[in-house]
Amino acid sequence: MEQSWRWFGPDDVVPLRAIRQAGASGVVTALHQIPYGVVWSVEEIEARKALIAADPSLGLRWNVVESLPIHERIKIGEGDLTELFDAYRQSMRNLAACGVRTICYNFMPVLDWTRTELRHPLPGGGSALRFNAHEYAAFDCFMLERPGARDDFPAEVIDRAKAWFDRATQADKDALLATIMAGLPGAFDRYDIPGLRRHLARYEGVSREALRQNLARFLREVIPTAEEVGIRMAIHPDDPPRSLMGLPRIVSSEDDLAFILGAVGSQANGLTLCTGSLGAGAHNDIPAIARRFASRIHFAHLRNVAKEPDGSFMEADHLGGDTNMVTVVEILLAEQNRRKEAGDDRWRIPFRPDHGHELLDDVGKGSFPGYSAIGRLKGLAEIRGVMTAVSQLRGLPV
């Protein structure tokens, strides 16, 4: 498996040399400065590649795009989308021409990943990302005041949400809004409460089935180009894998993945196996999902979460939490071996450690939440150890 590392470009407080020190060689990045729907030019792509390769002694290469974002109008199915589809396809062609041929993307409406705490304290002074069900309910029901929101939560969660809201200061409420808006680091848009309400209103009438069909349309539009230029598309699951703010989520379960991969039956139409996103859903059996869709896994995010009965969850140690990471790594190594024996020249599956804890000297450095250096280095080292052990025991190539 190709050990990789997410890097947010020149503004990332984690420098490229740290990636090499962590033992990774693949750099997972994106041109976050380019607005959604605008073509990524060859010049911009080559400039990022040159930055990554500027010090040849590091041996780094841009191996995965995360993400080439999909414009919200495509998700909604709003208006004439010809120019947006054309722009997306041209960006794909430009990436392929520059040698970057794996694209991670998502189809989450409005927001990407959602948490209510970006730095939940850990014993000893570290911190972790956390989703508290009652704080999210307080936001949805009492700050956003979304009609019908209370119907989406158990009464006990609503009671705790109201208690939190009643004692919260304005600073507490502002911090919760900022946390929920954090979404994916590097994302282009942020909203205040009125702006979020306006954006949610655009999805009125977009049912779960309609969103599914809009995704299927997107795949029909772009997968032929992916096949033509040798791109592998890898959809990222919803995080968390449940409806938020009344919006449908359609990449949240094994059935969802079966629909997506069956919508266009091409090897270019694949999956980012995110063990944390899928693992936050009590309905998901991560090893079973990995086994079923192994041949279509083009990229992996390996992280772990610990779930609680009310729907809360927290980022756990990479080998802790609720998902058996050893079994997942064994499945991925076995799939790699199958690809290698079949003559696939891209048989190695790129993966990266995801959402590490903020630890030691990284505390207070201002890294993107979940993306400090030491926590991810720890996770990568743990996974590397599992890979080495499984490889030797099973006779599988790493």
Q: Which one-letter DSSP state was computed for residue 252?
A: S
Q: Please state, for a pLDDT cut of 70, what percent of the chain lies above it.
A: 98
Contact 236, 274 (CB under 8 A): yes
pLDDT tens column, 193-228: 998 999 899 999 999 999 999 999 999 999 999 999
Question: Is residue 362 annotated as a catalytic residue, yes or no?
Answer: no
Q: What is the pLDDT of residue 182?
A: 82
Catalytic option among 120, 134, 318, 355: 355
Contact 90, 34 (CB under 8 A): no
Statement to judge: residues 132 and 192 lie in one domain: yes
Question: Is residue 32 annotated as a catalytic residue, yes or no?
Answer: no
Q: What is the pLDDT of residue 4?
A: 98
According to DSSP, the residues that pair with 318 across neighbouring strands are none
pLDDT, the chain, mean:
95
Among the three residues 165, 200, 235, which one is the final residue of a domain in this structure?
200
Statement to judge: residues 23 and 45 lie in one domain: yes
Q: Is the pLDDT of residue 2 over 80?
A: yes
Which amino acid, 44?
E
Question: Is residue 345 annotated as a catalytic residue, yes or no?
Answer: no
Q: What is the pLDDT of residue 349?
A: 98
Among the three residues 163, 180, 200, which one is the final residue of a domain in this structure?
200
Distance from C-alpha of 341 to C-alpha of 343, rounded to nearest angstrom: 5
Q: What is the pLDDT of residue 191?
A: 80
Among the three residues 200, 226, 244, which one is the final residue of a domain in this structure?
200
Contact 93, 87 (CB under 8 A): no
Catalytic option among 36, 88, 203, 371: 371
Distance from C-alpha of 144 to C-alpha of 193, rounded to nearest angstrom: 6
Statement to judge: residues 187 and 211 lie in one domain: no
Catalytic option among 301, 318, 357, 362: 301
Residues 386-390, mean pLDDT to the nearest whole number: 97
pLDDT tens column, 363-380: 989 888 899 999 999 999
Question: Is residue 355 annotated as a catalytic residue, yes or no?
Answer: yes
Q: Is the pLDDT of residue 28 over 80?
A: yes
DSSP 79-137: S--HHHHHHHHHHHHHHHHTT--EEEEE--SS-SS--SEEEEE-TTS-EEEEE-HHHHH
By DSSP bridging, strand 2-6 and strand 232-236 are unpaired
Statement to judge: residues 159 and 306 lie in one domain: no
Statement to judge: residues 216 and 329 lie in one domain: yes
pLDDT tens column, 178-192: 999 886 554 456 688
Statement to judge: residues 262 and 350 lie in one domain: yes
Question: Is residue 371 annotated as a catalytic residue, yes or no?
Answer: yes
Statement to judge: residues 144 and 60 lie in one domain: no
Residues 299-307, mean pLDDT to the nearest whole number: 98
C-alpha triplet 308, 314, 318: angle, nearest 5°: 115
Statement to judge: residues 97 and 229 lie in one domain: yes
pLDDT tens column, 266-286: 999 999 999 999 999 999 999
In the numeric block, the tokens 């890979």 are attached to: 387
Give residue 124's domain range: 117-200
Distance from C-alpha of 392 to C-alpha of 386, rounded to nearest angstrom: 10
Q: Is the pLDDT of residue 247 over 80?
A: yes
CATH of the domain at 283: 3.20.20.150
Q: How many domains does the chain have?
A: 2
Q: What is the pLDDT of residue 21?
A: 97
Catalytic option among 71, 120, 134, 236: 236
Long-range (24+ apart) CB contacts under 8 A made by 281-288 are 281/240, 281/241, 281/242, 281/252, 281/253, 282/307, 283/241, 283/253, 284/241, 284/253, 284/254, 285/254, 286/323, 286/324, 286/328, 287/323, 287/324, 287/327, 287/328, 287/331, 288/254
Task: Give the tokens for residue 154.
Answer: 């158990």
Catalytic option among 318, 354, 357, 362: 354
Residue 111 — very low, low, confident or very high, per pLDDT cuts 50/70/90? Answer: confident
Q: Which of 166-175, 183-192, 385-394 has the lowest mean pLDDT?
A: 183-192
Q: Tell the burial category of 238 from Cβ atoms under 10 Å away from its Cβ (0-12, 13-18, 19+).
A: buried
Statement to judge: residues 319 and 269 lie in one domain: yes
Q: What is the pLDDT of residue 189?
A: 61
The alpha carbon of 232 is separated from its chain's Cα centroid by a whole number of angstroms, namely 16
Catalytic option among 274, 298, 318, 362: 274
Statement to judge: residues 140 and 78 lie in one domain: no
Q: What is the pLDDT of residue 313?
A: 98
Distance from C-alpha of 243 to C-alpha of 300, rounded to nearest angstrom: 23
By DSSP bridging, strand 297-302 and strand 269-274 are parallel
Statement to judge: residues 157 and 102 lie in one domain: no
Question: Is residue 274 annotated as a catalytic residue, yes or no?
Answer: yes
Contact 31, 45 (CB under 8 A): yes
Statement to judge: residues 194 and 330 lie in one domain: no
Q: Please state, for a pLDDT cut of 90, what percent of the chain lies above it.
A: 93
pLDDT tens column, 116-152: 999 999 999 999 999 999 999 999 999 999 999 999 9
Q: What is the pLDDT of residue 271?
A: 98
